[in-house]
Chain A
Amino acid sequence: MKTTTSSLSAFGDSSIQTPSKSRIRQGCHSAGPNVSGDHINLVSSSMPSFPILQRSSEEKILYSDRLTLERQKLTVCPIIDGEEHLRLLNFQHNFITRIQNISNLQRLIFLDLYDNQIEEISGLSTLRSLRVLLLGKNRIKKISNLENLKSLDVLDLHGNQISKIENVSHLCDLRVLNLARNLLSHVDNLNGLDSLTELNLRHNQITFVRDVDNLPCLQRLFLSFNNISTFESVCCLADSTSLSDITFDGNPIAQESWYKHTILQNMMQLRQLDMKRITEEERRMASVIAKKEEEKKRESQKQSLLKEKKRLTINNVARKWDLQQHRVTSIAANQDRKDSDSPSQDPCQVDGSTISAFPEETGSLDSALSNALQGLSVTDTHLVEVDGDTLSLYGSGALESLDRNWSVQTAGMVTTVSFTFIEFDEIVQVLPKLKIKFPNSLHLKFKETNLVMLQQFNALAQLRRIDQLTIDPQGNPVVSFTLWKYYVLFRLSHFSMQKINGTEVTQNDMIMAERLFGILAHVASSELPQYRLISILGDARKKQFRYLLETKGKKPGVVSEENNDSKRLVGENTNRATLNYTTRDFYNEKLEEIKEKKKFCKMYIEDLVKEATEINMKNEALQKLWPQMFIELVRDAVIEIRNKSSYMKLCLQQITDQK
């Protein structure tokens, strides 16, 4: 009898080739009635379909425990009489469709039905001693009817049409299970096979494997030529302590770059992979690579967490800003319609555009990541971020960060400063700090900062230098004006800006700016009385300004050199230096302060007027009365002098009286 698997040698019976084989072949005829082989007779029986097998008594004695009927062109199992001691039965290479007529062979240990046409496992319920059952290359669709075969040691079902592993959990002595070349799509239901040492699943359609860790003795698992593509689908293998030999070749997973080291890293107990010994070197490499990947994963998780936090904070700031700008109605606001002529104040509309400007990063967050996020405080009201050369500030609270001690290196690298969700008036107040702490900032960006008037740009003149200015239309109504760019170029001409909102500044732009607003500058400098100029410009610039004004009258040719010098001195085209911007609050404060003075002045002037009117009245009265008074004076004098002698006496007396 041919050995179908190498492991049969464990059985003990090595060469089971019997001389009777040749004899069977010779005597091989169709299983019809009255076949007379040398020693085997297949005669017809009383039952019309089944032939009866008879052996010569010699044969029976020589090979009492084994019977080989391979290639006998059998289509049915013959009735075997008087062979109750039979232990090996070989039906290989026949055309048998059903297992029958062997129930009486209760001593049977080895049954070989390889290469037949059997469609269903049946007729084995009495063979309680059966240890090896070879049913390879048949047409079996389902594993069933093996209930009583509790001693089964080897079960070979390769080359069939089995799609599911089932009804094997009672086979606790089974050591070898061969299900290669079947139609299995997944592996589970393996509990109970407590002795299973080898499981052959080659050439199936398996996509995932489960329950292998329930097999305490499994040493060899062959999964070649299946459909496994991720380690997760076979992750139970990592938990199996007994596995030492595994094959994955012919699976999609074997083509992956991470295949080898992932398997090695997760299955430290392995000794052979794909029929090759695993060396120490390989194991070490695998561990190193696995560690690196772990770190990378952790890094990227951290990054995603940070990004998420940043996004949430920005959203929070945006929401606060919207509320502040009365764009979101949380209350039924009956704003006076006549005040809301301006389109930006539309109280009945949720301005969703603010939030949509920061699109939800819909990357799928791991469950771990989202768990970590639960702990994030979304009460952050501002965000400060330095990213290489850009300093980004979100929310008015962020302005305080300018007070921090920035390292000279970090601060020196910052060339762009971006303000979002902060009122421009608040930004104006920290511009001096910005000038000092970030001296290399050349590009300013403003978004959602409530820039509404051209005048506000005057405040930017105090900075050291600006090369580029970006004013985002969102949240900055000033951009809707036709002339805003020209005004910026005019007022900040001393910066020689290169770009505004991404577009280059051309010579024509500069010329146009000067043409449009040049007169304003001229008026602002030359037509203001001296004292006003000085009060607007403040102490520091007084002298310089006076000097410049004095030299202004000279011819342009001469002036240019001096002007350049003094320009560098002052740092700004002074004829527009008087164009300032004071925030609304400051301005109102100032006006309040002046009120007292105004009151005093009014009273003072009133007093003066009173005085003046009194004097005027007296003057007028005097004017009226003077002629009369004059006449009286003259008359009195004439009367006095009339009598010369008495007048002389009077005078002398007056003189003596005086003494």
Chain B
Amino acid sequence: MATERAGTWLPEAGKLELGSCCGPRMLSPERLALTDYEYLAQRHVLTYMEDAVCQLLENKEDISQYGIARFFTEYFNSVCQGTHILFREFSFIQATPHNRASFLRAFWRCFRTVGKNGDLLTMKEYHCLLQLLCPDFPLELTQKAARIVLMDDAMDCLMSFSDFLFAFQIQFYYSEFLESVAAIYQDLLSGKNPNTVIVPTSSSGQHRQRPALGEASMLEGVEASLFYQCLENLCDRHKYSCPPPALVKEVLSNVQRLTFYGFLVALSKHHGINQALGALPDKGDLMHDPAMDEELERL
């Protein structure tokens, strides 16, 4: 899975030096150092183009009836609106940050009423709801998200909609980043030098940290400042999307020491990060969706 992910993100990894995808630095030397192809790929233009053409091929009989131009219009409109990910396969949903954000948003909009109703559901049930929107959504991701909420304890527990949603957001949107963080955390726990280059392997990082705490010293977790330094390095050289370093610093500045899951929980509850992501509203407004209500009224 990781290699496939690497493929869709960036075909030629070697040439890239910095990976931040936000900020309009149009004439920065880094940007101009990219080849055209790399630049397009980095902005995921190619992903959407490929997907559009693929969809066209899939449905050529139907689309030929009302014209290719109209099809492309609709397609890119839906990409803009964030509805392009509905009922699509997981590999597509995962492909770009925009897709991920759109998916999160769609999930929120569709099932906000479940949260409003106050039902507490199990991890499996949330997974079911996810599957309604994406039939082949992997269980692992949902499990990982649940672990954040439940602090890796009693996986059968019930979770509230908002808790799950925000944890899921962090886990899904920043999956690759979190894996690297896990690896770093492990290293810090075992006292290794964290400034070596870390290549994240598929899921080993996540598994390692479960039993380790028992063997650690009396103080739980790792020192916050040291942790932050490693994370800052990671953010700088990471190709995948990361939370804004400033906000990460904020999270880490409040405590002396913290555990891995403590860190994740803090991330998930941080308003700033949520807003930076831009997919979901604030926790307080989670149950309200005036735009949707208006639409429903009209019907």
CB pair A522 B132 closer than 8 Å: no
Asked, given contacts A341-B143, A481-B125, A601-B50, whether A529 binds B77 with beta carbons under 8 Å apart, the answer is: yes
Verify A605–B49 contact, CB threshold 8 A.
yes
Residues of A within 8 A of B113 (CB): 515-519
Does the CB pair A613–B36 fall under 8 Å? yes
Stretch at the interface among B82-90, B237-245, B257-265: B82-90
CB distance from B28 to the nearest CB of A (A): 18
Is the CB–CB distance between B128 and A530 below 8 Å?
no
B155, CB-defined interface residue at 8 Å: yes
Q: Is A483 an interface residue when CB atoms closer than 8 A count as contact?
A: yes
- Per-residue CB contact flags for chain B residues 57-84 toward chain A (1 = under 8 Å, else 0) read 1110011001000010011011001011
Given the complex, which residues of B lie within 8 Å of A578, measured CB to CB?
A: 87
Of A231-239, A318-326, A590-598, the one contacting chain B is A590-598
User: Is residue B224 contacting chain A, with contact meaning CB distance below 8 A?
Assistant: no
The one of A341, A482, A515, A527 in contact with B81, judged by C-beta atoms closer than 8 angstroms, is A527
Contacts of B44 in A (CB 8 A): none
Q: How far is the CB of B29 from chain A (nearest CB, A)?
A: 17
Q: In the docked arrangement, what's the CA distance between A278 and B73, Å? A: 105
| Chain A hits for B165, CB < 8 A | none
For B106, B111, B124, B207, the residue with the greatest tally of chain A CB atoms inside 10 Å of its CB is: B124
Distance from A474 Cβ to chain B, minimum over Cβ atoms (Å): 17
Contact of B111 among A342, A520, A597 (CB under 8 A): A520
Residue of B54, B58, B124, B136 near A535 (CB, 8 A) is B58
Size bin of chain B's contact surface: 35 or more
Q: How far is the CB of A235 from chain B (nearest CB, A)?
A: 66
Which candidate, B189-197, B277-285, B291-299, is the interface stretch facing chain A?
Answer: B291-299
Interface centre among B71, B113, B143, B295 (most CB of A within 10 A): B113
A interface footprint on B110-138 (CB within 8 Å = 1, 0 otherwise): 11111001011110110011011001100
Q: How far is the CB of B153 from chain A (nearest CB, A)?
A: 13
**Chain B contacts of A516 at CB under 8 A?**
113-114, 117
In A32-63, the 8 Å CB interface with B consists of none
Q: Are A602 and B50 in contact (CB under 8 A)?
A: yes
Tell me the nearest residue of chain A to B158, going by C-beta: A482
Closest to B146 in A: A341
* Chain A residues closer than 8 Å to B37, beta-carbon distance: 606, 609-610, 613
Is the C-beta of A12 less than 8 angstroms from some C-beta in chain B?
no
Closest CB-CB distance, A342 to chain B, in whole Å? 7
Interface flags for A465-496 (1: CB within 8 Å of B; 0: not) read 00000000000011011110000000000000
Tier of interface size on chain A? 35 or more
Q: A601 with B135: in contact, given A519-B112, A594-B58 (CB under 8 Å)?
A: no
Q: Is A454 in contact with B299, judged by CB distance below 8 angstroms?
A: no
Q: What residues of B have a CB within 8 angstroms of the CB of A616 in the complex? A: 36
In the assembled complex, which residues on chain B have CB atoms less than 8 Å from the CB atom of A453?
A: 128, 131
Question: What's the nearest-Cβ distance from chain A to residue B77, in Å?
Answer: 7
**Can you list, as one digit per residue, whether each of A179-209 has a CB less than 8 Å from chain B (1) or not (0)?**
0000000000000000000000000000000
B119 contacts A455, C-beta separation under 8 Å:
no
The CB with the most chain A CB atoms within 10 A, among B51, B114, B132, B143, is that of B132
Contacts of B129 in A (CB 8 A): 454
Q: Is the CB of B143 within 8 A of A556?
A: no
Contact A527 B299 (CB under 8 A): no
Contact with B along A259-294 (1 / 0, CB 8 A): 000000000000000000000000000000000000
* B207 x A483 contact (CB < 8 A): no
A25 CB to closest chain B CB (Å) equals: 107
Pair A587/B112 contact, Cβ less than 8 Å: no
User: Residue B156 at the A interface, CB < 8 A?
Assistant: yes
A575 closest partner in B (C-beta): B299
Whether, in the assembled complex, A557 has its beta carbon less than 8 Å from a beta carbon of chain B, the answer is no
Query: A478–B125 Cα gap in the complex (Å)?
Result: 9
A490 to chain B, nearest CB (A): 11
CB contacts (< 8 Å) of B207 on chain A: these are: 338
Q: How far is the CA of A455 from the CA of B129 in the complex (A)?
A: 8
Within 8 Å of chain A (Cβ to Cβ): is B46? Answer: yes
In the docked arrangement, what's the CA distance between A528 and B83, Å? 7
Do A455 and B86 touch (CB < 8 A)?
no
B126 to chain A, nearest CB (A): 10
Determine whether B225 belongs to the interface, using a CB cutoff of 8 Å to chain A: no
5 contacts between A and B (CB under 8 A): A478-B128, A516-B114, A535-B59, A553-B298, A613-B37
Question: A residues engaging B (CB < 8 A)?
Answer: 338, 341-343, 453-455, 477-478, 480-483, 512, 515-520, 522-524, 526-532, 534-536, 542, 552-553, 556, 578-579, 582, 587, 591, 594, 597-598, 600-602, 604-606, 608-610, 612-613, 616
